[in-house]
Structure 1
Amino acid sequence: MSATLLAGVSDAAAKTYLIVIEQMRFDPPVLTVHRGDRVVWVNRDLFPHTASAMSKAFDSHEISPDASWSYVARRPGSYPYMCTLHSTMRGTLIVQ
């Protein structure tokens, strides 16, 4: 198989996961995905939030109310993240 074909097969297998930001928390608080999967954070609160990895692997910056931000997981590992505007809001993205 050619590299292009393999890339197409890989893309077809990728999934999209949703994390809802609501009532000052991330739901689900821990999410396990595979490399190549897309994670979408949707803000259903009345004020902005961020999804910022403590390792600096990803940073949404401010996600406005009723807006979303997505990230494609590329590197395996465990990525604790938080809302930099509300430090008690924490979650973990695990990439296999």
Structure 2
Amino acid sequence: MKLLACLSQTCPGAKTHTVTIEGMRFNPQTLTVRRGDRVVWINRDLFPHTATATSKAFDSRSISPNVSWAYRARTVGEFDYGCTFHPTMRARLVVEPRAKAPITRTNRAGPLR
């Protein structure tokens, strides 16, 4: 059940990461996140751009100047992406598995006598 909740909403400990689009570049050009994290692309350029995965895993469509678009990273893998309007703009999103919480045991019955 927790896995389904993690996929449909935010995972516990999920973070938000930012990719800035400026000067006809994605910055950073390679971003590594954990499954369940949110990635926000902010267009600070003068032209509209897209963040479109070559695998079709995600596609922002047109992001106008001074507008952002967000994507929840649900699938583990490496995703090359670029701007469909400007083919020289390329970058990579790496999605790693979320670390499992350590299993701890507690003595609920109290100390042994």
- TM-score using structure 1 length: 0.90
RMSD over aligned CA atoms reads: 1.6
Letter in 1 for 2:39: V
CA distance in 2, matches of 1:69, 1:40: 6
Letter in 1 for 2:89: M
Structure 1, unaligned runs of 5 or more: none
Higher relative contact order at CA 8 Å, sep ≥6: structure 1 or structure 2? 1
Q: Which residue of 1 aligns with 2:108?
A: none
Structure 2, unaligned runs of 5 or more: 97-113
Letter in 2 for 1:14: A
Cα deviation, residue 11, structure 1? 2.5
Q: Which residue of 2 aligns with 1:41?
A: 41
Query: What SS does structure 2 have at the residue aligned with 1:39?
Result: strand
> When you count strand as a share of all residues, which structure comes out higher?
1
CA distance in 2, matches of 1:50, 1:38: 17
Max Rg structure: 2
Cα deviation, residue 90, structure 1? 0.4
- TM-score using structure 2 length: 0.77
Equivalent pairs counted in the alignment come to: 92
Query: What SS does structure 1 have at the residue aligned with 2:11?
Result: helix
Shift >6 Å, 4+ stretches: none
Q: Which residue of 2 aligns with 1:80?
A: 80
